[in-house]
Amino acid sequence: GIQVEQSPPDLILQEGANSTLRCNFSDSVNNLQWFHQNPWGQLINLFYIPSGTKQNGRLSATTVATERYSLLYISSSQTTDSGVYFCAVASVGGATNKLIFGTGTLLAVQP
Amino acid sequence: DVKVTQSSRYLVKRTGEKVFLECVQDMDHENMFWYRQDPGLGLRLIYFSYDVKMKEKGDIPEGYSVSREKKERFSLILESASTNQTSMYLCASTSGTSYNEQFFGPGTRLTVL
């Protein structure tokens, strides 16, 4: 099945810094989503982005489907950005809603 | 806003007990999912459902069953709980349209003693 790799596994930032999280996937996808899991365990969908670029406030994401990777940019980080960021994909030919998750990037933003 | 709720935030059960985890969504979504989350493994799909009374196995269905008698409710059943089923369980739903954003519940942290 499709493999999803996220990097880095852990990241520590000072408040105000910028960061880039990467998601590589091993096959063509028809669905790619980025999620943020807060320290209390709640997962929030950040982006649905199987291709192209989207922005939402300080967050933006780019997926280059032909090269099988996606990037999540966090600018001017805040302590509330702390948590785990997951990339999840569904492979072409499979069920669009059947997501395969990466193992996540644990982000800690220090004041 | 979509709301996905789960019946318990924390649950402690004994080995061999039958365990029910309930999930309810209020946005008339067709698709519902059960995942478990373990350290270092991310989220893994246990079962999903595309419609009432329909279910499909995910990647790790062994030891679990599900029930979907009503569109808004999706139940995960551990017929005989074992210690290796100690985990965080997350329910999600999505509308099944071309925009497939998944919405998650708050999770149930299950401990099996």
Contact A42 B104 (CB under 8 A): yes
B45 φ, ψ to 5°? -80, 130
| Residues B89 and A86 sit within 8 Å (Cβ to Cβ) | no
pLDDT at A30: 86
Quote the minimal CA–CA distance from B33 to chain A in Å.
9
Which A residues, 19 through 38, put their C-beta within 8 Å of a C-beta on chain B? 31, 33, 35
Q: What is the pLDDT of residues B93-108, one digit of tens each?
A: 988 665 578 899 999 9
CB within 8 Å of B89: residues ≥ 6 apart: B6, B21, B34, B35, B36, B37, B76, B107, B108, B109, B110
The tokens 């489907």 sit on which residue? Answer: A65
**Block mean pLDDT (10 aa), chain A, length 111:** 94 97 94 93 93 97 97 97 95 77 96 94
Rounded Cα gap, residues A51 and A17, in angstroms? 26
